[in-house]
Chains A and B, each alone.
Chain A
């Protein structure tokens, strides 16, 4: 059984087309800006069977059109790779398009098998700099880099995603370093800049946690455009979500 935090049936930001997004419970990172802080706790979530998810997908199939499908997000969906595997297997048998939205920090045999049934990996790069990454997420970024190498080996399409946090991850030099690091990967189809917003902040209060980015303002259009311009030097396609 998968432990699911919630579903969004009109997902329009997590992969191509209209998608059923399953936010799985539990994450091995604890990003300062996490908009879904209530999905971080490793325990909990609604136990959901393969049949239930396949049933929801079937009901929604016409809405997927030619491009859409399902996206497993979180939390970190690959924390539950063992439970996720039979789900993606069953969905693939029925011909659904599958995306995994991951931080790329877990790579074991289950994950490798899940990836066989995945069409696109939405890979969240939190920061290019190791120390900064540690500060933002509580973990290092070496595993994520290795994950990209693996995806390159198996030629799996990647959409990179990068949350642009003012004062934390929008420094010009870091954006250039990010581009330099990833520019050579043929399987990276695009990079999505995800504007920072405070809409998830109220969840921290509810959880009794401190919101450490208090006072950080949403990006200005200038900031977003500047990042877009820099990254355009390195990637085939850059979009602002």
Chain B
């Protein structure tokens, strides 16, 4: 055993791969405030300036600095790459050059070709030949098997953003394992698992043996990757610097091999802190150096890139990578998990400036130390770069205190559990099936058979609701079928061997479904129930407009008459999904989340009974529709807090934007009010909150002068983006969305 590991408190982590046990036994919770933190060193500033210059070039060059059109990306595909070697304390890039993007054609060759063409480049003949004529991709597999029905649902916009031509992402490797154990021990553990996987040789068993074999190959490749950078990854890390470096190498392997929509980091900060404490106590490093390790690590995470088509940006705006790091929370034994390194991660938002990546997520518990809560509120007010999730709710509901956040908002136990990403279904468009006899309101195509025509154009609540439930049932069925196909094929053709090498053999799986349009559905049903709504039909008999006579309560005003409809529909749809068989017997979960696709969903959805016109964007995630919350921000938070996490275990996203003045007259009051607000929101068992503290004028100026705001970051549904990298349409949508202001 290494010297540093000898010094740590022993436990079952010494006998088996168990990082949680190591953290529990060795963590030093920190109750102080932010006064110990260090600023950026000259070395870090120089290095970050080089990155900023490269990022500027990237933005000027249609969002892509360069592409390697020759090599197919793998863990060992590229030689070592550096930003500027003599300045780097933490090394490693995805390719041999900063911001150079690599091809990962296993998701689908056509997408890679398109992405290159859009930049005026062409995929090399060799790669085209291999992937067109010999190798089969995930995308090929899925489309070989898709039913006509699924294709129809997909092309008409009932199902959107399905991971059928790009990597599904979401899986989080326990990247800490590389630092704690080193490759050799991890290989030995996987080999031991393999020994236990013996007959009878059922499909499951064969598949699992193949997967473990792939994982072992990946581990050996990761060792080779370390060699390219002069790092001996065969053994555990022996210092704080190595711990950071080892964790990063494990993560780097994942983003070299995969281009998943979201590839989270996990919850590495409190783990790394244990090494920091050791080195600080032994005089090996200073606080300045400790901060520098984290600054440089975060810098690397900020330059992770994937090769994407322009169309991808319509759904996932701003070229996100979702390197989500979950910070804080508490342990089952009641101690909190705030360490000095929790602070150091947040401090990077000052040392390097605001940024969407890594996607900093604070796991908020009522029991977190006040000093940390205040620091978070301050960072939110200053940078708008943090999101918050309810740790008390998740630890009690999901029964684990060692979890990360997959993608935007989804709980995932680290190293023990994975999830299959399911994009989402459009429940507002589904509501229109109930009003149009099962036909798509825009194309007129029959989507669901057996939905009766309405007896009258004046809508009757019970009749619409009965039809809606029929429609939801079929949509759930088709959605489930598409998911099973996608994940079967992804495992077969684009298996995440690097990430799964850092996950237990045969982990628990969540099938992460999603729904969009909840606020429109709730308001539409409320209008039908509480006012008179008459449908206007076009020549084909399809709904084109709704005339509303009378008042109705809208979701977002803390009014049970409509909020309960939102709860009822989300619970109902989740229950429908939970009743369906899943690939690999995954446990179904559902999110109420839209990413930025609320704009695209709006375009694909006709007029709705709440008075929303055709094409108007949806509210993001579980947010109330903009402009309909009349009683201010807290009433809006109260409405969202009513949604039932147990029926939306994949997460309930809420984005809160406010002008600084609305939080209070001076800095101290704003900080205090924001802390109180979060304590209160989460005490009501709400799940997630994005916090933006911004002036409308600032955003408008950034639209006109993007070069002056290269790092302006805003939080949207479950993640953060560089505002200037959004399309103009998305920027306008963000600005028009309710800025809670009490003027």
Contacts and interface: CB of A to CB of B under 8 A. Distances in A.
22 contacts: A7-B630, A7-B631, A8-B631, A9-B634, A9-B635, A10-B632, A10-B633, A11-B742, A12-B663, A12-B669, A12-B742, A17-B673, A17-B676, A18-B677, A60-B638, A63-B634, A65-B676, A65-B679, A65-B680, A239-B665, A240-B665, A241-B665
The 7 tightest CB contacts between A and B, nearest first, are: A9-B634, A62-B680, A65-B676, A9-B632, A63-B680, A10-B633, A9-B635
A199 B743 contact: yes
B41 to A, nearest CB: 37
Contact of B683 (A56, A62, A241): A62
B676 A60 contact: no
A74 interface: no
B664 A12 contact: yes
A10 B740 contact: yes
B558 interface: yes
Contact of A59 (B558, B632, B677, B740): B558
B662 interface: yes
Given A9-B558, A240-B665, A68 B631 contact: no
A20 to B, nearest CB: 7
A204 to B, nearest CB: 16
A12 B632 CA distance: 11
A8 B638 contact: no
Interface of B: 558, 630-638, 662-666, 669, 672-673, 676-677, 679-681, 683-684, 740, 742-743
Given A17-B673, A56-B558, A62-B679, A10 B665 contact: no
Contacts of A11: 632, 742
A13 B679 contact: no
Given A7-B632, A241-B665, 12 more contacts: A8-B632, A10-B634, A10-B742, A12-B665, A13-B742, A20-B634, A56-B558, A59-B638, A60-B558, A62-B679, A197-B743, A239-B665
Contacts of B683: 62
A59 B563 CA distance: 13
Contacts of A197: 743
A152 interface: no
A6 interface: yes
Interface string A1-44: 00000111111110001101000000000000000000000000
Contacts of B631: 6-9
A13 B665 contact: yes
Interface core residue of B635, B637, B664, B672 (most chain A CB under 10 Å): B635
Range class of the A interface residue count: 20 to 34
A206 B14 CA distance: 74
A199 B635 CA distance: 23
Contacts of B681: 62-63
Contacts of B664: 12-13
Nearest to A240: B665
A180 B664 CA distance: 29
Contacts of A64: 676, 680
Nearest to B675: A65
Interface core residue of B558, B634, B677, B679 (most chain A CB under 10 Å): B634
Contacts of B663: 12
A18 B558 contact: no
Contacts of A60: 558, 634-635, 638
Interface of A: 6-13, 17-18, 20, 56, 59-60, 62-65, 68, 197, 199, 239-241
A18 B630 contact: no
Contacts of A240: 665
Contacts of A68: 676
A46 to B, nearest CB: 11
A150 B542 CA distance: 68
A58 B719 CA distance: 32
Contacts of B665: 12-13, 239-241
A97 to B, nearest CB: 13
Given A13-B665, A59-B558, A7 B635 contact: yes
A109 B631 CA distance: 32
A12 B673 contact: yes
Contacts of A199: 743
B679 A8 contact: no
A20 B557 CA distance: 13
Given A20-B634, A60-B634, A10 B662 contact: yes
A18 B676 contact: yes
A18 B675 CA distance: 11
A239 B666 CA distance: 9
A13 B673 CA distance: 11
Contacts of A59: 558, 638
A153 to B, nearest CB: 30
A18 B673 contact: yes
Interface core residue of B558, B631, B740 (most chain A CB under 10 Å): B631
Nearest to A63: B680
A239 B633 CA distance: 25
Contact of A62 (B558, B630, B636, B684): B684
Nearest to A197: B743
Contacts of A9: 558, 631-636, 638
Contact of A63 (B676, B740, B743): B676
Nearest to A62: B680
Nearest to B629: A9
B130 to A, nearest CB: 58
Nearest to A13: B665
Contacts of B637: 63
A164 to B, nearest CB: 14
A11 B666 CA distance: 14
B197 to A, nearest CB: 50
A17 B669 CA distance: 8
B312 to A, nearest CB: 37
A8 B630 CA distance: 8
A62 B638 CA distance: 11
A63 B679 CA distance: 8
Contacts of A62: 679-681, 683-684
Contacts of B634: 9-10, 18, 20, 60, 63
B6 to A, nearest CB: 47
A68 B677 CA distance: 11
Contacts of A7: 630-632, 635
Nearest to A66: B676
B651 to A, nearest CB: 21
Contacts of A13: 664-665, 742
Contacts of A239: 665-666
Nearest to A61: B680
Given A12-B663, A13-B665, A241-B665, A63 B677 contact: yes
Contacts of B636: 9
Contacts of A10: 632-634, 662, 740, 742
A117 to B, nearest CB: 23
A10 B738 CA distance: 14
Nearest to B558: A59
